[in-house]
Chains A and B, each alone.
Chain A
Amino acid sequence: MTTPTLEVSGVYKSFPGVKALADVGLVLRPGAVHALLGENGAGKSTLIKIVTGVYQPDAGELQLEGRAVRFSGPRAAIAAGIGAVHQERNLIPRFSVGENIGLERLGGGWLKGVDYAALHADARKWLDVLELDIDTRLPVSELNVARRQLVEIAKALSLRSRVLLLDEPTASLTPQEAQVLFRVLRKLRSEGASLLLVSHKLEEVQEICDEVTVLRDGRNACANQPMAGLVRQDLVRLMIGRNEIIPSVSPRTREDAPTLLELRGVSTALGHAKIDLSVRKGEIVGLYGLVGAGRTELAKCVLGLHRITAGELLVEGEPRRIGSVAEAIHRHGIGYVSEDRKQEGLILAHSVLDNAGITVWRKLSGRLGLLRDGAVRARVGPIISELEVRTPSLAQTVGNLSGGNQQKVSVAKWLAAGVKILMVDEPTVGVDVKTKAYIHELLRRLAQDGAAILLISSDMPEMIALADRIVVMDGYRITGELANSRVYDPMSEAIMACIHRTAA
């Protein structure tokens, strides 16, 4: 066999409190597309960040064309010929499309200055490869999510690197756009490049990839296995360590229960249009969609963070206008568990007690606005033990808890506030399989106890395991609503059909 372009072996990486990667390896060969698969939190992005020099491994080795390398930062990796499309949006909004694509190659000396004509001409070339008709002088901030993603891909292609890593490159693309991308990838492959593709869409992985490496809980579930001969079920088994079992909860409907939250023909300042959505008491409604479909944004509109411009929002059957988050929580009993618990959900440097109690301080503060620790403790303590948050005491700093326990604290804070309607955004991103099961169980129990839950998730198995009904969103619109039969294959196909229908 030919010399591998890139060989990763025995890589370990830990973050405070989390073992992200343990003894991970993979081999990229010239002229091959390699798939990197795994559930959310399995360590795919961490591995990519190690290969691209963003993180340094704690142990293990990277070999580029047979020589050991160590990257001090992304610059070093780019210089060595490794290009990447990262999962986070990585463009500079005020800069033009052309300048974003050519940012690392801005030339020009002190007298000459940057040659913008050449820059835009070069950018044009790469946009043409992707069959993209965008003015290279347009600021990136004026593009939609899909186009930004394509610009990032053009940027990565323009590096002409020997190794190209693509982390969920199709997450917000239509199937047509994805097909164009795949044509480009096949062409690169025939020219001898090594490509690594991370995707949660197994159909596309099987379509284009030659080899596959699967990560599970930060370890290799398989390494460099040829794709030929593997079927979807094999990949899934490798990813989750068992067959796709949908828990024994039988499909159920809650048609008799009262509707707690309802949107009728809602349009928002963020661009949602004609949204119809309802959640009944005791029901879990899933809101599925790709990254950038507008689900988190919709939740924030319901919370009163952004204006609803048309249509009606009904809470327990009454039309309401929600002007602020405080109003949403205290008057209407609506809570939101943020997707980004580190940035938006929790104050990591504060104690468990302060984090879980923050939503009830207002209610519990006595005359003169004094707040007694005892009162908060009495309210929060039982909920923390009920949720089995593993913490030595309520005074423990939240930042020191594991990801799953942090997630429980962010749920606890809404339970303490006594919310009846809970919107949960990607609740299991970055938590291990066991904690994931706990959180699923917790959400089921909350619904059983009468809460109305709106579950936002891009995790298909999670959706099918938890939701009673699944509402599909794409491009800030509802594109379908399905009763969940809890049978994976037909459900996942029906859901993807809802997305592709609008795209086509």
Chain B
Amino acid sequence: MKLAALPRADWFGPLAIVILASIVITAFDPSFLSPFNIQILLLAASVNVVVAMSQMIIIAIGQMNLAIGAIGGFAAITFAGLMQVWSFPPPLAAVCALGLGAAAGLFNGALIARTGVSAFVITLASLSIFKGADLGITRAQPFYGVPASVKAFGNATMIGPIPWLALPAAVVVIGMWRLLYRQKVGRFILAVGGNSSAAELSGVSIERTTLWAHGLSGFLAALAGIMLVGRLQLGQPSIGDDWLILSFAAPVIGGAALAGGHVSVFGTLLGVVIVAMITQALVIFRIDPFFVQVVLGLLILWTVGVNRLREVRLSGGRA
């Protein structure tokens, strides 16, 4: 890539923000870059990046998935419940929960592809179904019987300040990058998001591509739910309730086009880091953490504005 083209890359702006913000925050509080603080940042970011990828794949195909939190929560209590009630070994329980997540996503995808009803409506309804099942099964009580190995996976560090949770997150990021830029399925998802009638006339099956995207989205949501069970050390039914804003914020900060057809995996990763840094900064500056939501909302509006400007310039004004 030529040097002059750098500022046009999706990840350039977010990276600049990350570096600048690190310098500013460290100037106020040098402990910001301490190993302990970095570990906290990585713990939060590891789960959140999986959540963000779960939404990003749906943004790529030009739709939205409101049900990722509900799927993640349902998978989380399934994972914890199987281990507590039927004493499933953790790997088997995890496979079951991931399968459930993928199935839930395929259910959404099949309804969207077959009926042609918008993803907004379908996932709004399935959000209610999955969340209701979650609360009905648990009676809103957490499962506490999480094995020590799972708790350790969710909190222990691997090398230096890097937690074990960063491992699945890294695999997901690299896997998504490969999928979207090197794999047929990923290219088809972006093609359908970019111009679905063109993709269809080129022989791409819209139905199969939609199923893939939603199946993957459900799988990733379930993975995030399982990771959170390890981190929180219990099967909390409310897992996933606060994912929605973040799941849109990170891809959008990373340069995704909400109309579909264009997302950036590394931009989204940086988006997650930015959100984690904001959360930390508010703690350091002793601002009420509830204001995180306000800042996130403002950040979304700002980045959408910047992306829109870029879009208009890209098309030479012929938007």
Contact = CB atoms under 8 A, between A and B. Distances in A.
A108 B178 CA distance: 12
Given A74-B201, A75-B203, A95-B191, A107 B184 contact: yes
B31 interface: no
B317 A90 contact: no
B201 A141 contact: no
Contact of A94 (B188, B261, B318): B261
A141 B200 contact: no
B204 A103 contact: yes
Interface string B178-206: 10001110011011001101111111110
Contact of B183 (A91, A114, A270): A114
A269 interface: yes
Contacts of B317: 269-271, 306-307
Given A74-B200, A78-B203, A104-B204, A94 B194 contact: yes
Contact of A92 (B198, B205, B315, B316): B198
B202 A103 contact: yes
A84 interface: yes
Interface in A88-146: 88-95, 99, 103-104, 106-108, 110, 113-114, 141
A90 B314 contact: no
Contacts of A54: 201
A244 interface: no
A489 B272 CA distance: 66
B203 A92 contact: no
A139 to B, nearest CB: 9
Contacts of B315: 141
B214 interface: no
B183 A110 contact: yes
Q: Which secondary structure dominates chain A's binding surface?
A: loop
B183 to A, nearest CB: 6
B262 interface: yes
B88 to A, nearest CB: 28
B158 to A, nearest CB: 26
A92 B261 contact: yes
A92 B184 contact: no
A88 B197 contact: yes
B209 to A, nearest CB: 12
Contacts of A79: 203
A92 B260 CA distance: 11
B205 A75 contact: yes
A72 to B, nearest CB: 11
Which among A89, A92, A155 has the greatest number of chain B C-beta atoms within 10 A?
A92
B201 A94 contact: no
A211 B197 CA distance: 31
Contact of A99 (B187, B203, B204): B187
A35 B199 CA distance: 27
Contact of B182 (A89, A90, A108, A271): A108
Nearest to A52: B201
Contacts of A78: 202-203
Contacts of A271: 316-318
Contacts of A91: 195, 198
A92 B201 contact: no
Contacts of B198: 89-92
Interface string A55-87: 000000000000000000111001100001010
A92 B314 contact: no
A426 interface: no
A312 interface: no
Interface in B142-199: 178, 182-184, 187-188, 190-191, 194-195, 197-199
Given A92-B261, A113-B178, A104 B183 contact: no
B203 A93 contact: no
A95 B60 CA distance: 13
A114 B184 contact: yes
6 contacts: A90-B198, A95-B194, A104-B202, A104-B203, A104-B204, A113-B182
Please give me the 4 A-B residue pairs with the lowest Cβ-Cβ distance, nearest first.
A113-B182, A90-B198, A104-B203, A92-B194
Interface of B: 178, 182-184, 187-188, 190-191, 194-195, 197-205, 261-262, 314-318
Interface of A: 52, 54, 73-75, 78-79, 84, 86, 88-95, 99, 103-104, 106-108, 110, 113-114, 141, 155, 269-271, 297, 306-307
Given A84-B201, A92-B198, A270-B317, 20 more contacts: A52-B201, A74-B200, A74-B202, A78-B202, A90-B202, A91-B195, A92-B194, A94-B190, A95-B191, A99-B187, A103-B187, A103-B199, A103-B202, A104-B203, A107-B184, A108-B182, A113-B178, A270-B316, A306-B317, A307-B317
